[in-house]
Structure 1
Amino acid sequence: MNFELQHLRTFVAVAEAGSVTGAAKRLYLSPPAVSAHIQKLEDELQVPLFVRTSQGMEVTAQGQVLRAKAEQALQAAQNVVRQAAELQSEIRGRVTFGINASPQVLRLAPIIQHLHTEYPGIDLALVHSATGKILEALRSGTLDIGFVFGPVTDRVLVAHRLGMIDLVIAVPQRFASQVPQVDWAAMAKLPWLYSDGYCPFQDMIDTCFAARGLRAQRVVETNDEATKCDLVRAGIGLALLDREEANALAAAGAAVIREPEPMPCDLSLVYAAQRADDPLIQAIAGTVCLVWAP
Structure 2
Amino acid sequence: MELQQMRYVVAVAETNSFTRAAELCLVVQSALSQQIARLERELGARLFERTSRRVRLTPAGAAFLATARQCLQAADRAVAEVAAAVGEVRGRLAVGLISTVAAVDIPGALREFHQVHPSVRISLRGTASEELVEQVREGTIDVAFLGLPTTARPEGVHARELAHDRHVAVVAPDHPLAGERAVGLRRLAAETFVDLPAGTAGRMQTDQAFAAAGLDRDVAFEVTNADLLARMVREGLGAAMLPSAYVPQLTGVVTIEVTDAPARVEYVIWSRSGPTPAAAAFLALLGIPAS
TM-score, length basis structure 1: 0.58
Q: Which structure has more helix as a fraction of its residues? A: 1
Question: Contact 1:172 / 1:232 at 8 angstroms: preserved in 2?
Answer: yes
1:269 Cα deviation after fit: 0.8
Name the CA shift for 1:130/1:121 in 2 (closer, same or farther; >3 Å).
same
For 1:163, give the aligned amino acid.
A
For 2:209, give the aligned amino acid.
C
1:32-181 to 2 correspondence within 5 Å? 89-102=87-100, 105-150=103-148, 151-154=152-155, 156-177=156-177, 180=180
Question: Contact 1:179 / 1:186 at 8 angstroms: preserved in 2?
Answer: no
1:178 Cα deviation after fit: 8.6
For 1:261, give the aligned amino acid.
D
Residue 14 of structure 2 corresponds to none
**What RMSD over aligned residues (CA atoms) do the two structures have, in Å?**
3.1
For 2:99, give the aligned amino acid.
A
Residue 285 of structure 1 corresponds to 283
Question: Contact 2:186 / 2:215 at 8 angstroms: preserved in 1?
Answer: yes
> 1: CA distance between counterparts of 2:275 and 2:207?
39
Residue 231 of structure 2 corresponds to 230
Percent identical pairs in the alignment equals: 20
1:147 Cα deviation after fit: 0.4
Name the CA shift for 1:185/1:179 in 2 (closer, same or farther; >3 Å).
farther
Residue 205 of structure 2 corresponds to 204
Give the greater-gyration-radius structure (CA): 1
1:253 Cα deviation after fit: 4.4
SS for the counterpart of 1:169 is strand
Residue 57 of structure 1 corresponds to none
1:146 Cα deviation after fit: 0.7
1:197 Cα deviation after fit: 5.9
Residue 216 of structure 1 corresponds to 217
SS for the counterpart of 1:289 is coil
SS for the counterpart of 2:109 is helix
The alignment covers a number of residue pairs equal to 203
Deviation readout 1:67-108 (Å, 9 max, x if unpaired): xxxxxxxxxxxxxxxxxx999742222322112135765312
SS for the counterpart of 1:229 is helix
Question: Contact 1:193 / 1:219 at 8 angstroms: preserved in 2?
Answer: yes
Name the CA shift for 1:238/1:279 in 2 (closer, same or farther; >3 Å).
same
Does structure 1 residue 261 correspond to structure 2 residue 251?
no
> 1: CA distance between counterparts of 2:154 and 2:239?
30
For 1:221, give the aligned amino acid.
E
Question: Contact 1:128 / 1:223 at 8 angstroms: preserved in 2?
Answer: no
1:210 Cα deviation after fit: 1.6
Residue 73 of structure 1 corresponds to none
> 2: CA distance between counterparts of 1:90 and 1:106?
25
Residue 192 of structure 2 corresponds to 191
1:288 Cα deviation after fit: 2.7
Structure 2: tracts of 5 or more residues without a match: 1-82
Structure 1: tracts of 5 or more residues without a match: 1-84
For 2:95, give the aligned amino acid.
F
